Structure 1
Amino acid sequence: MAHAVVAGAGIGGLTAALALARNGWQVTVLEQAASIEPVGAGLAVAPNALRALDVIGLGDEVRKLSAIQGEAGLRRPSGRWLSRTTAEDAAARYGDSTVLLTRSALVGILAARLPEDALRLGTRAESADPGTGLVTLTIPTGGTETIRADLVVAADGIRSRTRAALFPGHPEPVYTGVTSWRAIVPCPGAVGASETWGAGLVFGVMPLAGGQVYCYATAPVAAGLRAESEKDELIRLFGRWHDPIPALLAAADPDAVLRHDIYALDTPLPAFHSGRIALLGDAAHPMTPNLGQGACQAIEDAVVLARHVSPGSPTQITGGLAAYSRERLARTTPIVRRSRLIGRISGWRDPLAVALRDGAMRAAGLLGPAVAVRQFDSVFRWPA
């Protein structure tokens, strides 16, 4: 049986392993951590990613464990709405609404369905040869091991060692000038979904199942800065914004507030493959979170990869990888650029620019929710 080695047990890597296994591959998933502990808090799974999960038979399970994004939209710090949409609007247009769940819940669903003994924890892929498929590993005992693969899937994240080895000299992801905070907060009452834009500041609220709310925020700062208390920093920045933001911040566990600087790959790679190796997810196209498509595009990557790469001769595999690379470059490049643009616009701080931005958003919102929903056609209508 043809053997695929997947480096990285995040959402993209796990989805790729499941999709490949369904298509007749023996899979081995390498994860350098001692356990699967996903970084992050909440996750929005958009209609395009739900359709991709349907391909591997997990879409309905994800829907059952998720909260549906009901009324949602953009607001000002005062609470005034700039634009609004509803789950019904999205479902009518795309066949699904966006669902919300914790990242750990989605990783748990995926990991539970891996073939027996497919996952190797505490094992890092040090290098992979695109010509032979030889993968050199660092194993839990501290030694090294070499295994042969017919296909290597590098889902090793934004700082991908594999990407750097395949494309030496290509620009690395750059700091976008924005840091982010994330937290899951208990909230017994009903809270709607919203994203609020201020002068360079953003705060998002996403209701989850089980009386929880996922909160996220961004602010422009120098890279690497950290606060003594990230919760207190959030209260300083957002504590006077509209309800329910102050109450959510007050309820947040200080130890559960995550902070990470945001990086993106502004210069697209020339390809997402080389020889027998495919790049996937953040290893291929790191993007800002402004469209909520990072994990969604990794899920798409995985399903498209498995569709193009059937077990067969080396020529068939490399030909399939070339087709995967062409398709996914064309798909992800405009999404990466659009997400980056939205991040820049939401980060405007000049008062005149902010007023013009908010006025334009408000004018579009007055045309009705259908106008706001249509802005996502190129993203959510997949496959085209």
Structure 2
Amino acid sequence: MTGTAVVVGAGVGGLATALGLRRAGWTVTILERRKELERYGTAFGIHPTAQAALDRLGVGEPFRARAVPYRSARIRTPQGKVMARLPLERIERKAGRPELLISRPYLIDALLAELRAFGDVPLKLGENVREVDALLVDNDLVVGADGIHSAVRAACPGDRRSGPRRVGSVAWIGVADFESGVHGETWGTGRFFGMTPIEPGRTNWYATVPEATTAQELRRLFEGWHDPIPRILAETDPATWIRYEMRHLFPALPAFVDRGKVALVGDAAHAMTPNLGQGACTAILDAEALTRAVAGHGRAGLPSALRTYDAERRRSAQRIAFASRTLHRFMTTERTRLRDALVRTLPS
């Protein structure tokens, strides 16, 4: 027996959850507070485990049609000296498939296309949810996929202590209209710069710097760093750069579910710093695990389904969030000599 669900938030986690629930036969409505979907072009790294989850959600083929492999990357000093490899080759050997990178709009489009194929999943924009209890009156399940400032999480009695916390850094991201030929991350003192593929002829880049840094100061902070970092910053228009304050959710939630009728996924449940590149992956894994549990238990067994979801995902996602925050501290330390010596001991 299936039921009705409302998904609050139309990012990757929300759309993937809506898709999984609809494929399980549930009646689903999506509410999004923005008047249009976020479509900025940063690249998501999708680990093989999350790729498998997309396959189970039925969106693997259109996802792979727009994704590019990420097979080789290095950690460098600002002078360009290689300190270590990112473990991409090991990931591919173990999983039998490479890490894949995809532009956010392409992943959103793939999920939307699969949802629209059903023809009966309303996506209501400009819906600023405040009263979660009102949603529970007309729905068997409410899913909070509404990000780090989640209104759904705020309505869960056991989650009131958790909230967004600053980490003291900001990230600037952009896309250069040329292929850099150099991929990976360059670690300096209190800042770092990363470059990845995104699609043929373009390079995704990101820079993490102290919180007070302005766009005008960004180029100066990376003057003298190895090529092509200065060129990327010189040849991309600052008007296209995206700035966001790096935050994480703290303290960790005691549960991702509430009252047998509410579940949290993605950043609403475990917002993390982007250092491990796992934000989109964990949201996809949350969505697939939640909808698989709901499909397996049915409407009558919804409380058991939510407990199953919480048991499968909470500790795993929170370990990744903790590891990402720890890595951020390590990458941005002022004690670069010790850090770099440790990095050079990593297996190649």
**Counterpart residue type for residue 130 of structure 2:** E
- What's 2:268 paired with? 283
1:310 aligns with 2:295: yes
Q: What is aligned with 1:362?
A: 344
Matches within 5 A, 1:90-129: 90-114=91-115, 115-118=118-121, 119-129=123-133
Give the equivalent residue in structure 2 for 1:201.
191
1:117 shift after superposition: 4.2
Specify the code of the residue in structure 2 equivalent to 1:24: G
Report deviation, 1:109.
0.8
Give the TM-score of the pair, scaled to structure 1: 0.84
Equivalent residues in 2 for 1:248-267, closer than 5 Å? 248-267=232-251
Structure 1 residues 86 and 274 mapped into 2: Cα distance closer, same or farther (>3 Å)? closer
- Distance in 2 between residues matched to 1:313 and 1:62, nearest whole Å: 28
* Counterpart AA for 2:33: Q
1:239–1:249 contact (8 Å) kept in structure 2 = no
Q: Match for 2:82: what amino acid?
A: W
Specify the code of the residue in structure 2 equivalent to 1:205.
M
Give the Cα separation in 1 of the matches to 2:11 and 2:298: 28
Counterparts of 1:13 and 1:34 in 2: how far apart (Å)? Answer: 16
Instruction: Name whichever of 93-102 and 37-46 sits farther off.
Output: 37-46
The 1:98/1:202 distance shift into structure 2, 3 A limit, reads same
Distance 2:86 2:249 in 1: 30
1-side partners of 2:95 and 2:223: how far apart? Answer: 36
Does the aligned pair in 1 maintain the 2:180–2:203 contact within 8 Å?
Answer: no
Following TM superposition, the consecutive aligned residue runs of length 4 or more in structure 1 with deviations greater than 3 angstroms are: 85-89, 311-315
Distance 1:348 1:226, change over 3 A: closer
Gaps (5+ residues) in structure 2?
none
Distance 2:151 2:81 in 1: 45
Which amino acid counterpart does residue 58 of structure 2 have in structure 1?
G
Contact kept in structure 2, 1:70 and 1:192, CA below 8 Å? no
Aligned counterpart, 1:380: none
- 1:205–1:213 contact (8 Å) kept in structure 2: yes
Q: Counterparts in 2 of 1:208-247, with a 5 A limit? A: 208-221=198-211, 225=212, 227=214, 230=215, 232-247=216-231
Q: Percent identity?
A: 39
Closer/same/farther in 2, CA of residues 30 and 356 from structure 1, 3 Å limit: same
Superposition RMSD in Å: 1.9
Q: Kindly tell me: are residues 39 and 267 of structure 1, through their superposed partners in 2, closer, same or farther at Cα, counting changes over 3 Å? A: farther
CA contact (8 A) 1:7 1:124 kept: no
Mapped to 2, the partners of 1:220 and 1:190 lie a distance apart of 25
Counterpart code for 2:336: V
**Distance in 2 of aligned mates of 1:303 and 1:89:** 25
Alignment partners' CA distance in 1, 2:249 and 2:33: 23
What amino acid maps onto 1:38 in structure 2? R
- Extract unaligned runs of 5+ from structure 1: 137-146, 370-384
Distance 2:147 2:83 in 1: 35
Shift, 1:312, TM fit: 6.6
Distance 1:176 1:40, change over 3 A: farther
Partner of 1:135: 135
Deviations 1:118-144 (A, max 9, x none): 212222322222xxxx418xxxxxxxx
Supply the distance in 2 between the matched residues of 1:330 and 1:298 (Cα, whole angstroms): 14
- Partner amino acid, structure 1, of 2:315: A
Cα separation, partners in 2 of 1:154 and 1:270, compared to 1, 3 Å: same
Quote the residue 1:382 is aligned against: none
Counterpart code for 1:361: V
Deviation, structure 1 residue 175: 0.3
Which residue of structure 2 lines up, in the alignment, with residue 347 of structure 1?
332
Q: How many residues align?
A: 342
